[in-house]
């Protein structure tokens, strides 16, 4: 077992995060250093280190996270956003647990659902 990352600890509720969405497959929480009005990270509950590691039975995970982000945007009335995967240290990936960056200039507080309130 590789060393648990900060995202393992967020998933296990061992460290706090502002969780904005959760289902059986994913957890989504706000980035601690936001680079946009809305900056959310989507992670799978099943660990994969990066897009480059998503082989075989894990190959669906990058696309699955994109689908979840798309649904999140639709549900919150966010019509414009950027999705980004950083892959590997040379690609700017600091946390070795796959995560999809969701960046939008639409603040969550202006979306129909309002701001996230769940704190862990």
Give residues with Cβ within 8 angstroms of 1, minimum separation 6: none
- The verdict on 100 binding ligand 5GP (CB under 6 A) reads no
Q: Which of residues 55-94 bind ligand 5GP (CB under 6 A)?
A: 86, 92-94
The question of whether 99 is a catalytic residue gets the answer yes
Rounded least distance, CB 31 to ligand 5GP, Å: 5
Dihedral Cα 9, 87, 63, 61, nearest 10 deg: -40
Alpha-carbon 40 to chain mean position: 5
Task: Please report how close the Cβ of residue 64 comes to ligand 5GP at its closest, in angstroms.
Answer: 18
Rule CB under 6 A: say whether 3 interacts with ligand 5GP.
no
Q: What are phi and psi of 110, to 5 degrees?
A: -95, -5
Residue from 1, 2, 24, 33 that binds ligand 5GP (CB under 6 A)?
33
Cβ-proximal residues to 62 (8 Å cutoff; 6+ apart), any chain: 51, 54, 85, 98, 100
Q: Which of 5, 6, 53, 66 binds ligand 5GP (CB under 6 A)?
A: 6
The residues annotated as belonging to the active site are 99
Residues of this chain that interact with ligand 5GP (CB under 6 A) are: 6, 17, 29-33, 41, 86, 92-95
């Amino acid at each position: 077992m590789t060393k648990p990352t900060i995202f393992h600890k967020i998933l296990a509720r061992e460290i706090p995060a502002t969780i904005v969405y959760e289902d059986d497959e994913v957890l989504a929480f706000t980035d601690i250093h936001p680079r946009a009005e809305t900056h959310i990270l989507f992670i799978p509950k099943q660990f994969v280190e990066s897009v480059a590691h998503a082989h075989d039975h894990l190959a669906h995970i990058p696309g699955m996270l994109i689908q979840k982000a798309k649904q999140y945007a639709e549900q919150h009335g966010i019509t414009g956003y950027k999705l980004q995967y950083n892959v590997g240290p040379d690609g700017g990936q600091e946390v070795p647990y796959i995560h999809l960056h969701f960046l939008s200039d639409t603040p969550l507080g202006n979306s129909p659902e309002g701001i996230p309130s769940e704190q862990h």
